[in-house]
């Protein structure tokens, strides 16, 4: 039975043809269901296929195979129906008219999405209050701070009160305070209060862990695992992770040397480099790994911790993540 506010994908495929025979299977046979009101996370590193999947669901790209039903409408057969059910929020994209005010922008988009005129004024008032932009409602958008512009983009996405939201990398490039605001807003307002069905993509493991009820790990266009964060973490056979915290850069050669010891995950946060290796017996790895790190960087601490969602991702996908982005 199709849910009128849910999402269902069956064997969805999107291939980008490059030169001659080269092709990228950006979405490679993806199937899953998102229930009404669920906050669902699609998690994967750069190039996993997350944005391509969102574009297929929002009818910006036509899938090459498979089906996608969004809010009871098929993306191929009824793209207009899909768009009526959807709000799509992508970070960084310029989705507002900068010479117009917030009220003018929202009026324009309300008309575009067919919001009845009798409801528009009340709707805009509500959204400006919700996003804390009421005082700025007659200011030109170009004069608003970037945080305010982002808030107005969210208001714009919600103007036709869509039951389903697709949110692509909501906190990418945001400062830590605003990133926190956005995460709290998604969880408490959009999910708990307004009960929207939400598909969120991110490559921040902590973000997915904190927000999402269920998570799909995406890698090379495929779904490698799908479960609650709690049950995903239970899939690690090794119970422990050896973590070396250091200052300095780990070069490619050191990365491959350590990789020989087992599943490796390298990340940077707040100027520190973290080398994490999941293992049954951390003691066995200790001297070898620390020696390699010590040749390149200043070791600050060595500890044994329990697996994070990122460790599980590395374990289940076989990927060795080398993440240079700073986690907020
Ligand atoms: N318009 C396009 N033409 C050709 N190849 C594309 C196009 N868009 C995406 N790709 C390729 O498809 C693959 C998936 O890209 P996609 O943008 O969906 O990844 P992503 O998971 O959103 O990554 P990121 O975390 O960097 O945003 C990549 O190999 C990418 O180079
Ligand atoms: Mg993307």
pLDDT tens across 280-296, in order?
Answer: 788 888 888 888 999 88
Pocket of ligand 1 (CB under 6 A): 16, 24, 26, 44, 46-52, 203
Q: Which residue, 215, 213, 243, is CA-closest to 304?
A: 243
Better pLDDT: 182 or 270: 182
Q: What pLDDT score does 104 carry?
A: 97
Shortest-distance ligand to the CA of residue 203: 1
Asked if 53 and 30 count as a contact pair (C-beta separation under 8 A), the reply is yes
In whole angstroms, what separates CA 138 from the centre of its chain?
32
Structure confidence by residue, pLDDT tens digits, 20-72: 778 999 999 999 999 999 999 999 988 999 999 999 999 999 999 999 999 99
Q: Tell which one of 43, 50, 52 to mutate to probe ligand 1, the residue whose CB is within 8 A of the most ligand atoms.
A: 52
Q: What pLDDT score does 251 carry?
A: 86
Kindly indicate the confidence band of residue 252, based on its pLDDT and cuts at 50, 70 and 90: confident
Structure confidence by residue, pLDDT tens digits, 102-140: 999 999 999 999 999 999 999 999 999 999 999 999 999
Q: What pLDDT score does 323 carry?
A: 52
pLDDT, the chain, mean = 90
What is the phi/psi pair of residue 114, to 5°? 75, 30
Task: Look at strands 264-269 and 322-326 and give their pairing.
Answer: parallel
Q: What pLDDT score does 259 carry?
A: 80
Better pLDDT: 164 or 324: 164
Instruction: Compute the distance from residue 47 Cα to the ligand 1 centre, in Å.
Output: 5
Domains of the chain: 7-227 (3.40.50.300), 238-326 (3.30.70.1710)
Q: Which residue, 326, 328, 280, 284, is CA-closest to 307?
A: 280
Instruction: Compute the distance from residue 51 Cα to the ligand 2 centre, in Å.
Output: 4
């Amino acid at each position: 039975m199709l849910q009128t506010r849910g999402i269902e994908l069956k064997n969805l495929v999107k291939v980008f043809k490059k030169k001659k025979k080269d092709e990228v299977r950006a979405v490679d046979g993806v199937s899953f269901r998102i229930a009404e009101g669920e906050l669902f996370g699609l998690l994967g590193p750069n190039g996993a296929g997350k944005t391509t999947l969102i574009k297929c669901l929002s009818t910006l790209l036509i899938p090459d195979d498979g089906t996608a039903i969004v809010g009871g409408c098929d993306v191929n057969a009824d793209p207009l129906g899909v768009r009526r059910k959807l709000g799509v929020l992508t970070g960084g994209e310029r989705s507002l008219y900068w010479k117009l005010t917030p009220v003018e922008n929202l009026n324009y988009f309300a008309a575009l999405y067919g919001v009845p005129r009798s409801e528009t004024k009340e709707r805009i008032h509500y959204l400006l209050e919700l996003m804390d932009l009421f005082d700025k409602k007659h200011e030109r958008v170009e004069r608003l701070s970037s945080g305010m512009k982002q808030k107005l983009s969210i208001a714009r996405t919600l103007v036709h009160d869509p039951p389903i939201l697709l949110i692509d990398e909501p906190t990418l490039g945001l400062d830590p305070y605003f990133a926190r605001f956005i995460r709290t807003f998604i969880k408490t307002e959009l999910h708990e209060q307004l009960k929207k069905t939400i598909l969120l993509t991110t490559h921040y493991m902590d973000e997915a862990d904190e927000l999402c009820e269920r998570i799909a790990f995406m890698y090379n266009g495929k779904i490698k695992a799908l479960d609650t964060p709690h049950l995903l973490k239970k899939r690690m056979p090794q119970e422990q992770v050896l973590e070396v915290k250091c200052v300095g850069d780990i070069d490619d050669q050191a990365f491959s040397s350590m990789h020989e010891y087992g599943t490796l995950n390298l990340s940077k946060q707040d100027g520190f480099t973290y080398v994490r290796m999941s293992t049954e017996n951390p003691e066995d790895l200790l001297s070898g790994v620390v020696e390699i790190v010590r040749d390149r960087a200043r070791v600050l601490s060595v500890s044994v911790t329990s697996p994070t969602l990122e460790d599980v991702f590395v374990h289940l996908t076989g990927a060795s993540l080398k993440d240079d982005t700073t986690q907020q």
